[in-house]
Structure 1
Amino acid sequence: MRKSARYSTLAAAGLLAVSSLTACANDAASTTSTGSGKGTKVKIMVGGLDKVIYLPAMLTQRLGYFDAEGLNVELLTEPAGVQAETALVAGQVQGTVGFYDHTLDLQTKGKAVESVVQFSRAPGEVEIVSTKAAGDITSPKDFKGKKLGITSLGSSTDFLTKYLAVKNGVKVNEFSPVAVGAGATFISALQQGSIDGGMTTDPTVATILDKKAGKVLVDMRTPEGSQKALGGPYPSSSLYMQTDWVNGHKDTVQKLVNAFVRTLKWMSTHSAAEIAAKMPADYSQGDKALYTQSIKSTLPMFTDDGVMPENGPETVEKVLKAFNTNIQNADVDLSKTYTTEFVEAAK
């Protein structure tokens, strides 16, 4: 049985020139992580390897599950999902670990891309406001005139910020999205006043709260938080691939999905501390307790079987239609944006 749902809003600058993409890939290679060097070679671009929302990518490798499936997986990293997506469209990698919503917008641009295993049922994102601006921004209704941080234009943080604004009566041209990345650059922008608030994920969220540099305005790290903010489950982090490649390499895709589903099941039966212990030491940035807490806060977003949550694609389409003219003016076939074929076989 096959289903799909795809959206991805590339900003005008989203489709990078091949030369720029090559540079991105070369930069990403500096933070590459590879498997045993044996087996079928697969390159996967991750929209931020150290982000907790994409934790299953590195964890699968650390647990040895790619190797167990006879795969030699090379994990590359780009800090913004839209750049990771562009690398996939350019054919530089075979898969992207990023937000499912990119598959919808890509469909409106004539690109057939589908999620083959769904890691999550909530965005895992948090809208943070700086401590200084907390008195002026008490809900998304107060976004008007504010500078709000996102990873990059056309990213999922951009999409979700726009939806929160529109849903609360603020037009997308009434606030300023500011591309500040994630991690240290986001925190610095918040502390220096370059942004009044913004959308980010753990471990950045945990660090901001620990430093008392900001406060949580909207928390979408749990299914309940997603329901409250977005009106339903919001499938986000996933492995998505070009449909033609999937159809031509089903055995390899099945092995990838087997490995990821095995990881999701492992995560569902282990504590945040046990998960943190498996990750690269530098991911904790010297504070293992804080890193463990960031994993604990985000764990509720993950599925334990890789299956697309019921009504998830419809929620994503509704969110995108609120502000995305590409989606508003297109007849998106959600059944082509994801497939359950491989996760069902993995079970």
Structure 2
Amino acid sequence: MRRKSQSADISWRSVARANPTKRTATGVVMRSIASSLLALVVITSACAAPAARSTPETTRAAPTPSATPAPRVHVTVAMGTKGSLILLPWELAKALNYFEEANIDLELQYAANATQAAAALVAGTADLGGSSLDHSIRAQLQGKPTRMIVSFARLPGVALVARPDRKAQLSSLAALRGTTVGVPGIASGAHVLLTYLLRSQAGLDPDRDYRVQAFATAEFAGALERGDVAAAMITDPLITQIISSGKAALIVDLRREDETVKVLGGRYQFTGAVARADTLDKNPALVQRVVNVLVRTLRYIARAPASEIAAAMPADLVGSDRQLYVAALDASKQYLSPDGVIDRGSVETVVKVNGVFAESYPQQAPLRSGDRVDVDALFDMRFVRAALAN
């Protein structure tokens, strides 16, 4: 087999040498075929290239239809003192047209005080509310639960002030024995805090040791000046305004976190947006739209200069002295929440403080001795978490 194979191989080469013309022709034919094949490959590749090339037409995604706008809705909000910075997000969001951009027609309904505003929410005459957490404790124990859904003031944001000539005397709060102290409303958040402050720091009980009288915001300065009250527990911008004007002096400043922790034993979730529990269950989509706006507003407050915020507010809320209002806004940044989040510990402090208020005002307090409060049912962070995630 090997010999035969060699012979065949020799014979093939011999034929080639013996027939050079035939060999040349064969080579030409082979080269011609190779060239044709090469040309075919090039042509095929050239023809195929455009199909593989990325072009704007082939890579551009098909246009997606725009999201359906949320339906126009009318929302009423019951709140207390007009222009109070502890409720600023409601008024500022409206002034900035944030609610309008969310297709929400917001109506702010002002009550004489926070207690009446909270009652309006519970009664169903308002969709949402702006008040302190104390009122949600009362509503829960009455079987008509409301829940805070956004934090506004994560500290009390209030201060005890007195006439300047009495500041030295009031270095000890016990000096308020036998006097009258002003508050924005009976059983309001400021009243609850005043009761705890004087009880825990000076051992004073209302009625027995001092009297409490409610005043409208515009009446406090005059009441202090005339001596109708020895001191008052008030909120900004009034705090900044009457101190700057020399009509009052700071005694206890619960706008500051260090003083709040010292006096109350922890942070204190004061005011925020509040909703009835049935509203949260029946209309969560609407609640989410409102919360989105409020969280957006709180973030704006945290980053914007106070002068810019003041420029956006209605003139009747700013007042005649813009510089004083700007100063009050600057002070508010230390107690207004930057994101609307509520922590459980600050809610527990509120329940503790209200327990002391109950001992002094068993008929007016939101809870009584022996009442058990479900702390976790006083607030709901689902909507804030969703807003922050977006």
Moved over 6 A (4+): none
CA contact (8 A) 2:181 2:229 kept: yes
The reply on whether 1:89 has 2:130 as its aligned counterpart is: no
Match of 2:256?
222
Task: Give the SS at the match of 1:277.
Answer: helix
> d(CA) in 2 for partners of 1:101 and 1:277?
32
> d(CA) in 2 for partners of 1:127 and 1:309?
25
Q: In the comparison of the two structures, how many residue pairs are matched? A: 309
Match of 1:202?
236
Residues 121-176 of structure 1: CA deviation (Å, up to 9, x unaligned): 10110100112332332233332212100011111111011000110211233110
Match of 1:57?
90
Task: Give the SS at the match of 2:357.
Answer: coil
The reply on whether 1:260 has 2:294 as its aligned counterpart is: yes
**Cα 1:272/1:242, change in 2 over 3 Å:** same
CA contact (8 A) 2:176 2:230 kept: no
> d(CA) in 1 for partners of 2:278 and 2:158?
31
The reply on whether 1:338 has 2:379 as its aligned counterpart is: yes
Q: Percent identity?
A: 29
- 5 Å-filtered alignment, 1:213-292, equals 213-292=247-326
> d(CA) in 2 for partners of 1:289 and 1:343?
33
Match of 1:99?
132
TM-score, normalising length: structure 2: 0.76
Task: Give the SS at the match of 1:50.
Answer: coil
CA RMSD of aligned residues (A): 1.4
- Give 1:115 shift: 0.5
The reply on whether 1:47 has 2:88 as its aligned counterpart is: no
CA contact (8 A) 1:320 1:327 kept: no
- Give 1:105 shift: 2.2
- Give 1:327 shift: 4.1
The reply on whether 1:124 has 2:165 as its aligned counterpart is: no
> d(CA) in 2 for partners of 1:79 and 1:270?
31
Decide which structure has the larger Cα Rg and report it: 2
> d(CA) in 2 for partners of 1:80 and 1:327?
22
Q: Which moved more, 1:147-156 or 1:323-332?
A: 323-332
- Give 1:318 shift: 1.0
Matched to 2:369, the amino acid is: Q
CA contact (8 A) 1:69 1:259 kept: yes
Q: Which runs of 5+ in 2 are unaligned?
A: 1-70, 360-366
Q: Tell me which protein shows more helix as a share of its residues.
A: 2
Q: Which runs of 5+ in 1 are unaligned?
A: 1-37
Matched to 2:380, the amino acid is: T
> d(CA) in 1 for partners of 2:153 and 2:239?
18
The structure showing larger relative contact order (alpha-carbon pairs under 8 Å, at least 6 residues apart) is 1
TM-score, normalising length: structure 1: 0.86
Residues 241-283 of structure 1: CA deviation (Å, up to 9, x unaligned): 1101221110110001000000011111111111111111122
Matched to 1:244, the amino acid is: D
Match of 1:10?
none
- Give 1:310 shift: 4.3
Residues 228-249 of structure 1: CA deviation (Å, up to 9, x unaligned): 2211111112011110122111
